[in-house]
Every structure is written in C-alpha cells, then in structure tokens.
Amino acid sequence: MPRIRVTRSRLIAVLAVAGLVVLFVWAFMPGPVPADLAPVVRGALVVTVDEEGETRVRDRFVVSAPLPGRMLRIGLEPGDPVTAGETEVARLLAADPALLDVRTRSELEARVRAARSAVGGARAERDRLAADLDFATRDLARQQQLAAEGLASKEQLEAAQRQVRTLEEALRSAEFAVTTAEFQLETAQAALVQSGRSSGSAVRITSPVDGVLLRRLEQSETVVQPGQALVEIGDLRRMEIVSDLLSTDAVKVREGQRVIIDQWGGGQPLAGRARRVEPSGFMKVSALGVEEQRVNVIIDFEDPIEAAQHLGDGFRVEVRIVIWEAGNVLKVPVSSLFRHDEGWAVYRVEGETARRRAVQVGRQNALDAQVTEGLAEGDRVVVYPSDDVADGVAIQER
C-alpha cells in the first residue's frame, strides 16, 4: 500500500508540472497580429496636381492723369460700379499752360497720330477676330452635325468648342483693346490742346470701361503729373486664376485639362479649365527657405461667375488640375504599399494569414493606386502594416 501511494503522488506531481509547462508555453506563444484590412476594388481614379492659386481680373485698366494739374479728392470707393464714358473717376484742375515750342508741339502731334494708328490697328484686330469667330462658329455647327451622324470623334467636337470659346474671349479682349486705344487717343489730344486751356479749368476723367473700381492709387487732393496712375478698374465678371506650380508638375499639365477649384469659401467645388501654361519659369523661395523653380498656369472658370459671386481680385483658392482619370480601375489604398526588392508589394490576407505579394503599380494619387498585376478584385490587403506583420504571420482584423 505505501508503495502505491508514492507512485500515485509522483504521477500527480508529474501531471502538475506538465500542466505548468503547457500553460507557460501557451502564455508565451505569439498570437495573431491585429491589423486594419481593406478590399481591392474597382472604381474611378483621378490623378491631380494640387496647388494654391490666386484669382485676378483678366483685363485690368489703370487710369492715369492726361495732363499736369491738381487732382481733387476721389470720392469713389473700391467696389463701386463704373460705366464707360459716364462715371467720373477723377477731376483735375489744369495747371498754368506752358508755351509750346515747335519741337514739343511736333512731338505731341506725332503722339496723336500714333494713337490714331493704334486705334485703327486695334479695330482691325477686332474685325479679324470677329471673322475668325464667325468661321469657327459655323465649323462647330458642322462638327455637331457630323457627331450626331457618328462621322466625327468626340475629340474633334471638343476641339471645335474650345476654339469657339477661345475666340470669344479673344474678341472680348480685342474690344477692350479698342476702348483703351481710343482712351489713349483722347489723352494725347488733351495734351495737345493743353496750351489752349485757361489756368484752373476742370478736366473730367471718366472710366474707359464698364466694371468696378478695384483700387485707388491716389485718393487725397494732390498735384499730379501726366501719366501718373490714379485708379485701377476691372470687370469682376471676367476673372481667371493663376497658380504657380513646380516646374516638374507644370510639364504634366496640358491646355484644356479639367480643373477642380476648391477651398474658395463656398460649399461646392467649382469647375475650371487650364487655358495656358506659361513658357517661362521663375525662382521662388518656399516657406522653408528652399529655392524652387515655378511656372504660372492660367485657369479659366467654367461655372457661371455667379456661382462664385463673392470672389474678388486677389482671393486665395486651391486648384486640382486633372492630369489623368479613368472610371474602371483596379485599385488599392496607397497606405497598403511598401517597397520590396526594388519594387512594390502588399500583404494579401489568405484565410487568416498574411502573405507578401509583389504587385505592379500604375497611376496613383494621394489615397489610391492603380494595380496592373498581382491582385484581383475582392482580395483583402493590410493597410498601414506594422513591423509585426510579416510573410506567414497570423492576422486578426482590428
């Protein structure tokens, strides 16, 4: 009997020790790694170049003093509407006339003749653009008819539409150029007849165009000289956006590309279109003190200007220029990608195990990347993989 009790005691002790060993091993066995997972899906992918921009009035007119004298205080306030040829923007009291010698009078007469020639040239350019617009309008009608019959491509129709819009804007600018040339002719004529004015006679200076007063360069009563700038006038219905891009981004932008105008203060983004990439760059020092080569890109509003009626000259906006987009793209979150063997890879979840998978990546933006090889729709991948995630590790979705 004693011998049986000893054996039984030893057996219990061995079992207790074995249980402790099992518990110890189980406690220190690595468990599944918690991780965030995301599916591989098909959908739209838009690749953009993002940068800040600034609004500006497209046609800005500086009204200057046509002759020397004392300018009375300007009563208009910035933002006041003005009408071409009617609204008085400034009033001058002419100074004592100076005697004009033969040489000075000849110079003034030559300026008048040059101003008349500029008016003729501006009118001829306006007429030429009007004829081009008429031809482009008729060509657009033909392209629309051919497109309806399936004989013209979408690109040809869009090119004809863009040509009409471009010529319409050019014709409006030409109209302003004619008005400006006529105003310069009046200025030259006023300088020529200055000697015939009596001292202290008042000269009304009216607005050359319709629009609003943007800035008063002079406000209080003061003595001015010929050519001295007094006020700036522009039409807030004709605004554009200028955005300075890094030169490495500007080479990706093409005229006519779609632009998303955001963070302008309104509830919805506005639509725009890249009109011109300037051919010359410039150096700019960033906020971090880094010298950067920048290039200006000019953007037109496509939405009616009433949609951005609270925007003015020199307002800040953010622009996203669409350089590539597609509607049915296999994509994964950029946060799931990591570098491996000089390429890209992801951790694809098979069952409850992470498997490293090499992938081929195409276009990508800040959030998603196009996958051209290595994954299929419906696969799940680990996003923001930590150092604990490796090939063959058990994964538990967080």
The region that residue 223 occupies, defined by phi over 0 for left and psi between -120 and 50 for alpha, beta otherwise, is beta
pTM of structure = 0.65
Q: Give residue 193's pLDDT band: very low, low, confident or very high (50, 70, 90).
A: low
Confidence at residue 347, expressed as pLDDT on a 0 to 100 scale: 94
Confidence at residue 383, expressed as pLDDT on a 0 to 100 scale: 94
Q: Give residue 1's pLDDT band: very low, low, confident or very high (50, 70, 90).
A: very low
Whether residue 262 contacts residue 271, with contact meaning beta carbons closer than 8 Å, is answered with no
| Mean pLDDT along residues 193-209 | 70
| Mean pLDDT along residues 57-86 | 89
Confidence at residue 238, expressed as pLDDT on a 0 to 100 scale: 87
| Mean pLDDT along residues 127-155 | 87
Q: What is the fold of 33-44+327-397?
A: 2.40.420
With a pLDDT cut of 70, the percent of the chain lying above it is 91
| Mean pLDDT along residues 197-210 | 75
Confidence at residue 53, expressed as pLDDT on a 0 to 100 scale: 95
- Class (C level, CATH) for 48-56+237-326: mainly beta
Confidence at residue 39, expressed as pLDDT on a 0 to 100 scale: 94
Q: State the Rg of the chain over Cα.
A: 36
| Mean pLDDT along residues 107-118 | 84
As a whole number, the mean pLDDT across the chain is 86
Residue 195 has pLDDT above 60, yes or no: no
Q: pLDDT tens across 150-164, in order?
A: 888 888 888 888 888
Residue 97 has pLDDT above 50, yes or no: yes
Confidence at residue 101, expressed as pLDDT on a 0 to 100 scale: 59
The region that residue 124 occupies, defined by phi over 0 for left and psi between -120 and 50 for alpha, beta otherwise, is alpha
Q: pLDDT tens across 173-182, in order?
A: 888 888 888 8
Architecture of domain 60-95+198-234: Beta Barrel (2.40)
Q: pLDDT tens across 305-353, in order?
A: 777 778 889 999 999 999 999 989 999 999 999 998 889 999 999 988 9
Q: pLDDT tens across 247-304, in order?
A: 999 999 999 999 999 999 888 899 999 999 999 999 998 888 899 999 999 999 988 8
